[in-house]
Amino acid sequence: MTGVQISFFVLAVASVASAIGVIAFKNAVHSALSLILTLLFLALFYLQLGAMFIAIVQILIYAGAIMVLFLFVVTMLASEVDETQLADRIPWQRWVAGILGLTLVAALSYLLFTGTAIDSGAKATAANSLSHVVATQGNTEAFGLALFHGFVFPFEVTSLLIIVAVLGAMVLGRKA
């Protein structure tokens, strides 16, 4: 086994285990901490795949900003919510959910193993390939070049989306 394989399997087991922790912990704060762990493991996956900028953004924005917001709300509301005291109105829900989940993961794995592979013809040509740009310009530069050459309009729409989200949060957070 090479180092890449060993790190892949360690990361795979760790990220799936912490993802299961998110839905298994009774306490919402523990779930949030487990989710932060999952996000950090995914950032390591991105590093392994050579996407350094995305890995850093993942840690800063996701594990940092978004999860801080989550933890604020969880600690504000968690003491009031005790899921174990709620009456279980749909007792067969867990079993059906488990069967559906197993079906989903089996179907996805089956398709991934037997489905037609992604067309290698879609691979970028040597001159504008990501590895070439990364080697000549650098990782963040390659991301910026791709973003501001091919994805300018989606980028601008993104800023609109953020403004709408901020306004929505302000309107919802106002004292009614």
Partner 1 sequence: MPLSAYLIVSAIIFTVGVLGVLIRRNPLIIFMSIELMLNAVNLSFVAISSYLDSADGQMFVFLVLTVAAAEVVVGLAIIVSIFRTRRNIDVDDMNLLRG
Restricted to residues 82-141, the positions that interact with partner 1 (CB under 8 A) are 83, 86, 89-90, 93-94, 96-98, 100-101, 104-105, 108-109, 112-113, 118, 122-124, 129-131, 133
Tell me how far, at minimum, the Cβ of 52 lies from partner 1, in Å.
10
| Six token digits for residue 127 | 């001159």
Q: How far apart are CA 12 and CA 8, in angstroms?
A: 6
Residue 144 CB neighbour total at 10 angstroms? 13
Residue from 91, 127, 153, 172 in contact with partner 1 (CB under 8 A):
172
**To the nearest 5 percent, what fractions of the chain are helix, strand and coil?**
80, 0, 20
Q: How far apart are CA 89 and CA 85, in angstroms?
A: 12
Tell me how far, at minimum, the Cβ of 84 lies from partner 1, in Å.
10
Cβ closest to partner 1, residue 5 vs residue 136: 5
Tell me how far, at minimum, the Cβ of 136 lies from partner 1, in Å.
13
Tell me how far, at minimum, the Cβ of 55 lies from partner 1, in Å.
9
Cβ closest to partner 1, residue 136 vs residue 176: 176
Residue 150 CB neighbour total at 10 angstroms? 10
DSSP single-letter state for residue 58: I
Q: How far apart are CA 39 and CA 63, in angstroms?
A: 6
Tell me how far, at minimum, the Cβ of 12 lies from partner 1, in Å.
5
Query: 44 to 83, contacts with partner 1 by CB under 8 A?
Result: 45-46, 49-51, 53-54, 57-58, 61-62, 65-66, 69-70, 73-74, 76-78, 80-81, 83
Q: How far apart are CA 3 and CA 77, in angstroms?
A: 44
> Binding to partner 1 by residue 28, rule CB under 8 A?
yes
Tell me how far, at minimum, the Cβ of 153 lies from partner 1, in Å.
11
> Binding to partner 1 by residue 6, rule CB under 8 A?
no
Size of the site for partner 1 (CB under 8 A): 83
User: Is residue 82 within 8 Å of 29, Cβ to Cβ?
Assistant: no
Q: How far apart are CA 37 and CA 31, in angstroms?
A: 10
